[in-house]
Amino acid sequence: MNVTYPHMGYLTIPVYNMLSNLGIKVIEAPPITKRTVELGSLYSPESVCLPYKITMGNFIESIEKGADTLLTVCGSGKCRLGFYNTVQKIALAEKKPLQLHTINISENVLVNLYRLLRTLAPNASRVSIAQNIAMTLKTLKALDKINDAKNHYGALTEDADMIINTYHRGMQQLGNCHTFREINETCQHIIGDMDTATTVLAPPPVKIGLIGEFYLLLEPYVNHQLEDSLIKQGVEVKKFVYTGDWAYSQAILHTLGLYNEETSYLKEARPYLNYHVGGDGLKSVGNALWCAKNQFDGIIHIYPFSCMPEVVAQYALKNIARDYNIPILSLSIDEHASDVGITTRIEAFVDCLKRK
């Protein structure tokens, strides 16, 4: 059994460690490239969203390397993520016999993950599985912290590349940690290095909030390195979607009945959106309203072309932009989007905010 899974930002770092520590043979998908996108598009429905096509490309390239067991997620609601697993399984089964295991994120994530690991690693003890799940969540939370620190400190230094390089070094170091203490110490050390390299600027940097669809916010290749591009232009970036925060909320807090994502964001999005529209649409509106109320200079809304929840959210976002006089740039991304086109629009938006 050779297990693989799609890329999504730094999620692959702790997931690889968790599976390997349990004795599961992992074949990681190659880094996302133009070939990944082309392969995924070739074997996908034409009108389906970009995350589907790229995860499809990840699977195909992994199968070429010998993978025969695929891991993915699905969820109920109006987002097309709900049928990814079924449609991809049918299409990929034509290439070779495969097993596809799915974690339903609309149900109890912690229980579903535990059951999946028991299936993939039948010889692993329950204690070992529980420990590796805990380490994965802890590592993800630490990765969230250094990513957030990069987006903050990167705008407060003249050498943004140094902050970005420190962040990437931190990701590698966290991937090699084996205890909670090592994770905490490494995280503090990396953030301390970033803090040491910063200065207080006058006037303060432009502040931009990033909102939109989950996958595009988390995968740098797909969003055309949006965060780093903004940092290098002297922009302080606030992102609201983090893998560790989401995993911790869904796996721990939701399981204990202490958190309900839909109810939480419904309160934040009112009165501009009063119902769940699927995907991250409600979250986008709630986060945009928070930025508007907290004196952000602008908002960038990024989503896959044809993503229905985010298209619905756009109507509310236009009203927020009007009522609070806050500029919002919407970027609709598909496989045809170019680095030059995206970069040009971002640079023009930042220039306008700086002049304002």
pLDDT at 59: 95
pLDDT at 222: 93
Phi-psi region of 211 (alpha: psi -120 to 50; beta: other; left: phi over 0): beta
pLDDT at 30: 94
The per-residue pLDDT for range 9-58, each reduced to its tens digit, is 999 999 999 999 999 999 999 999 999 999 999 999 888 999 999 999 99
pLDDT over threshold 70, residue 145: yes
- Phi, psi for 300 (deg, rounded to 5): -115, 125
Contact 341, 58 (CB under 8 A): no
pLDDT at 149: 95
Q: What is the pTM of this model?
A: 0.92
pLDDT at 104: 82
pLDDT at 246: 81
pLDDT at 293: 94
Q: Averaged over 77-104, what is the pLDDT?
A: 83
pLDDT over threshold 80, residue 264: no
Q: Tell me, what amino acid is at 119?
A: T
Q: Averaged over 161-190, what is the pLDDT?
A: 95
319: pLDDT confidence band, cut at 50, 70 and 90?
Answer: very high
pLDDT over threshold 80, residue 328: yes
Instruction: Tell me the β-bridge partners of 237.
Output: 208
pLDDT over threshold 80, residue 119: yes
Neighbours of 83 (CB within 10 A): 12
pLDDT at 245: 84
Q: Averaged over 237-254, what is the pLDDT?
A: 82
* 189-to-169, 170, 317 alpha-carbon distances in Å: 11, 9, 38
pLDDT over threshold 70, residue 208: yes
Residue 77 and residue 81: Cα distance in Å, rounded?
9
The per-residue pLDDT for range 211-238, each reduced to its tens digit, is 999 999 999 999 999 999 999 999 999 9
pLDDT at 9: 92
pLDDT over threshold 70, residue 258: no
pLDDT over threshold 90, residue 136: yes
pLDDT at 71: 93
Q: Which residue has the higher pLDDT, 59 or 241?
A: 59
pLDDT over threshold 70, residue 256: no
Contact 151, 236 (CB under 8 A): yes
When mean pLDDT is compared across 16-20, 163-167, 257-261, 289-293, the lowest value belongs to 257-261
Share of the chain above pLDDT 70, in %: 95
Torsion of CA 34, 284, 272, 107, to 10 degrees: 110
Contact 272, 324 (CB under 8 A): no
300: pLDDT confidence band, cut at 50, 70 and 90?
Answer: very high
